[in-house]
A and B are shown apart, each in its own frame.
Chain A
Amino acid sequence: MRLTVDGVAHEVDVEADMPLLWVLRDELKIKGVKYGCGIAQCGACTVHLDGAAVRSCQVWAEDAEGAEITTIQGLGQPEALHAVQAAWIEHQVAQCGYCQSGQIMQAAALLAEDPAPSDAVIDEVMSGNLCRCGTYPRIRAAIHSAAARLREA
């Protein structure tokens, strides 16, 4: 099976129904994608499939074939941050940080769709992403600031 992740093509030998999450983490060693629940409850595993935010624990490997898969590590790097990552740093969002890959991927997909989301839209779109440390107030603020960064860019 051929998967394109963060712009790189990989040949993997996995079951058709292995969740993309585990292909990424255990086969391709892309550890920025996190496992939290395995049942679409937490959003820690969020990646982009052709630009749309999906829960990689719910996507079968075979269904990701042929798609552009983007992970947190492809969105931006420490030396070349995506606007959402820069806003996350500006607002010092992370505590334990474990949910933040998924939060950032969800927020980046939201801003690609809606460059100036209202609080109500943010509430709706981001509420599938659980943060057990409770960084929500900073997530809200960081999304507004990322939206401003993207508009200026």
Chain B
Amino acid sequence: MGRLKTFTRRAFLVGSAAVAGGVAFGIYTVRKPHENPLADSLAPGEAALTPYLRLDARGVTLITPRADMGQGAYHVQAALLAEELDLDLAEVRTDPGPPGAAYWNTALAEEAAEFSVPSEGLMRTVAETAVGAVMKMMGMQITGGSTTVPDQFDKLRAAAASARETLKAAAAHQTGVAADKLRTENGQVLLPDGSALPYAALTPALAQVEVVQDVPPRDPSQWRQLGQPMQRIDILAKSTGTQVYGIDVEIDGMAHAAVKLNPAQGGEMRGFDASVAEKMRGVQAVLPVTGGVAVVADNTWRAFQAAQAIEVQWGPAEMPATMADHWQALADAFTEDARDSRQRDDGDVDTALEAAEVIEAEYRAPYLAHAPLEPISAVVRVRDGKAEVWTGTQVPRFVQKNVAAIAGIAAEDVTLHVQMMGGSFGHRLEDEVVRRAAEIAVQMPGVPIKLTYSREEDMTHDFPRQIAMARLRGTVDAGQVAAMDLSIASPSVMVSQMGRQGISVPGPDSQIVAGAWNAPFAIPHHRVTGYRAAPLAPISSWRSVGASHAGFFHNAALDELIHAAGADPLAERLRLCNDPLARHVLEAVGEMSSWEGVLGDGRGRGVALTTSFDVRCAEVVEVRATDDGIRLEKVWVAAEVGRVLDPVNFENLVQGGVIFALGHAIHSEITYRDGRAEQSNYDGYPAMRLYQTPKIAVRGLENGDRVRGIGEPPVPPAAPALASAIFAATGTRLREMPFAKFVDFV
């Protein structure tokens, strides 16, 4: 069982505020100088209350600034609340706390979420770089980096514990019974005589009492529900077709819009002829938008059809013409001038490489689309100097700011209703669809405009995962890995992504080497260098961000060296591992898979370990070479997360992360020709299907002293473990994704 000392020790200043019909509980934060450059609406020393829960006549509502794109963020936060409040999970309502709602102001939103930049050991260095600072700043407004659980874990429980004790104080005030004689159970305060006061009935009395401060959250040993399997709060709606997603939003008087954007990514629209489209049934308007043309119609399909009928003159994209040119740009980046970071430099790599025969290899990771199943959409209405927005987004503050700028109004005059998302994987960290919907809406004041991207517009205008390349030089000695020099080149995803929000990102980009420079291995001579390539296609964060490429590179390179040394892939990793938590996850997958060296019979296994988002995650993949190609048989996963809050949701997310990663590693890439994405739908961009899905066994370890999120960490080790397994089964070494370009799969 984990050492959970830090959980209960942290004290927060909990406060409350009267809100319409009730009371909100939250955490006070005070602006500290230089901590948050964006928090300029909050004067130094001024305190703001971030509300986490609301008590009113309807009961208990979770106020969550975090987005739910399928990872169960609402569910797990509601469970944290329910645990401290002695409440049935099903009784908790959720409110995404839109900026602009009655008591929710910009300052509150600023403070709603601090990014938990990992700050242990080596990781501290990155946290202290400029990129680390920007990540932290970004974190205050986004859902990402697997931060929801770690960030909310302490704060929500502190607010809820305080609310519970304040409810008792209110009951004491109302009944005259001393608070220490009262208990809470099932959403009620229980009196010694057996009578019960529902929380909702205590709302008026809450306003009469002081907030009870400094209530330590319960020790995990007292948990009733957390840590046990529970029913996700959204499972009924999501099993009956009654869950409303952003794409399902209906507003009175709403019109349906579609866009036709320049297929050359980012190129301008130079002129158009809509004479055919304008006469098509249901078409109300054809309007220019940034980089393209929009059709407004009375039905989504009619808008799609009409958009296709517009003739447009396009400008060119600003990127190299062929994929060969993109790869060349990466190859050209391995220079001293383009050197971005060297966070790992153990021993004397140069000397070691001179002294022995050098093993060299090159690795590649392609552009990847996010392609969540729900295409992006937004509803925007602009009227009377105000705007209202309904959309699924991970960046509510950016949306608010950008819509305000387009409508020429103040950010406070933009009301955002965050919607449930049909997946994201980082896609909804971008807000292009909202901006275009706003551009249409300002041209049709008063009309709620719902802009839905067709799958084709969505995929071809996605900002994909970064393209990356790595070069290995290494040596082995006496059956052991002796030296590893890994150079990784990629454009900066942070610069590209933040650039679209008008934010410049100084300093090195830790994402170029994420999951590689911090690999927990004591290789005697070990160097990881990041090189920053010039911007190519515009790119964005994709599930696990930099670790999705750098984790693959480091594991794949280490695997080659281990093979050259004649060592066992798991045994040599265990021998080199210098991090106790990482050692545990490696040992766990070894035990789960009954790891043994050579399997024979066309079978092969591979192992990989990546630390990303402070989660150590190890995976073993087993494949079989058949006459029809490689068949994926089994995967074993162990991850160190400090504390598993909901084992069922945990298993589901880990299995999903593995499937997501394996599917892309095998099948997927986005390629550009003259700036045009050559894949526009799931036929050209295949994913894993049920028939290919292996059995996946999952174990969550709880040795660490901090609770961690699991949305992203299962992704990075999957591809290298698969490549290693294929090598073991067939002798074919795969150094470039997608693997299906080089071997057949069943």
A-side residues, CB < 8 A to B, are 15, 18-19, 21-22, 25-27, 29, 31-39, 41-42, 44, 71-73, 76-78, 81, 85, 88-89, 92-101, 104, 122-124, 126-140
CA distance A25 to B303 in the complex (A): 14
B-chain residues with CB within 8 Å of residue A130 when the two chains form the complex: 373, 682, 687, 689
Question: Quick one: CB contact mask for B194-237 with A, threshold 8 Å, 1 for yes?
Answer: 00000000000000000000000000000000000001101111
Is there contact, CB below 8 Å, between A26 and B299? yes
| Cα–Cα, bound, A16→B301 (Å) | 13
B401-419 CB contacts (< 8 Å) to partner A? none
Q: State in angstroms the CA–CA spacing of A32 and B70 once bound together.
A: 17
Min CB distance, A41 to chain B, in Å? 4
Q: B299 touching A73 by the CB < 8 A rule?
A: no
Instruction: Specify which chain B residues have a CB less than 8 angstroms from the CB of A135 in the assembled complex.
Output: 652, 655-656
Is B421 at the interface (CB under 8 A from chain A)? yes
**Which of A73, A129, A135, A138 has the most chain B CB atoms inside 10 A of its CB?**
A135
Contact between A73 and B241 (Cβ–Cβ < 8 Å)?
Answer: yes
* 8 Å CB interface, B643-700 against A: 648-649, 652-653, 655-660, 663, 681-683, 687-691, 693, 695-696
Nearest A residue to B659 via CB reads A134
**Across the interface, do B300 and A25 meet the contact criterion of CB distance under 8 Å?**
yes
Against A, the Cβ 8 Å flags (1 = close, 0 = not) of B117-149 are 000000000000000000000000000000000
CA separation between A58 and B690, bound complex, in Å? 22
- B6 contacts chain A at the CB level, 8 A cutoff: no
**Choice from A36, A76, A96 contacting B455 with Cβ under 8 Å:** A36
Measured CB to CB, the closest approach of chain A to B559, in angstroms, equals 24
Q: Are A133 and B239 in contact (CB under 8 A)?
A: no
Interface string of B293-320 (1 = CB under 8 A from A): 0000001111010000000000000000
Q: Indicate if the CB atoms of B71 and A33 lie closer than 8 Å.
A: no
User: Is there an interface contact between A95 and B653, defined as CB atoms closer than 8 Å?
Assistant: yes
Given known contacts A73-B242, A97-B238, A38 and B455 CB-to-CB distance under 8 angstroms: yes
Chain B residues, CB < 8 A from A88 = 235, 239
Interface residues of B (CB under 8 A from A): 69-72, 231-232, 234-245, 247-248, 250, 256, 281, 299-302, 304, 371-375, 421-425, 452, 454-455, 648-649, 652-653, 655-660, 663, 681-683, 687-691, 693, 695-696
In the bound complex, CA of A92 to CA of B695 (Å): 17
Q: What would be 27 A-B contacts, judged by CB atoms less than 8 Å apart?
A: A36-B373, A39-B682, A72-B240, A73-B242, A76-B240, A78-B236, A78-B242, A92-B231, A95-B70, A95-B71, A95-B72, A97-B70, A97-B239, A98-B70, A98-B372, A98-B373, A104-B239, A122-B690, A127-B689, A130-B373, A130-B687, A131-B373, A132-B425, A133-B70, A133-B423, A136-B688, A138-B655
Q: In whole angstroms, what is the CA distance A99 to B425 when docked?
A: 15
**Contacts A134-B660, A134-B688, A139-B690 given: A78-B423 contact, CB under 8 Å?**
no
Q: Assess whether A97 is in contact with B422, with CB atoms less than 8 Å apart.
A: yes
**Contact present for B693 and A77 (CB under 8 Å):** no
Known: A96-B421, A137-B655. A37 touches B681 (CB 8 A): yes
Task: Return chain A residues, CB-CB under 8 Å to B659.
Answer: 134, 136
Known A21-B301, A134-B656, A134-B663; 17 more pairs at CB < 8 Å: A26-B300, A31-B248, A32-B242, A37-B681, A39-B682, A41-B683, A42-B682, A85-B239, A88-B235, A89-B235, A92-B648, A93-B652, A96-B69, A96-B424, A133-B423, A134-B693, A136-B659
Instruction: Note all chain B residues with C-beta closer than 8 A to A94.
Output: 70, 232, 234-235, 238-239
Residues of A within 8 A of B688 (CB): 134, 136
In the complex, which residues of chain A have a beta carbon less than 8 angstroms from the beta carbon of B657? 134
Of A38, A85, A134, the residue contacting B655 (CB under 8 A) is: A134
Across-interface contacts of B695 in A (CB, < 8 A)? 137
Q: Chain B's nearest CB lies how many Å from the CB of A28?
A: 11
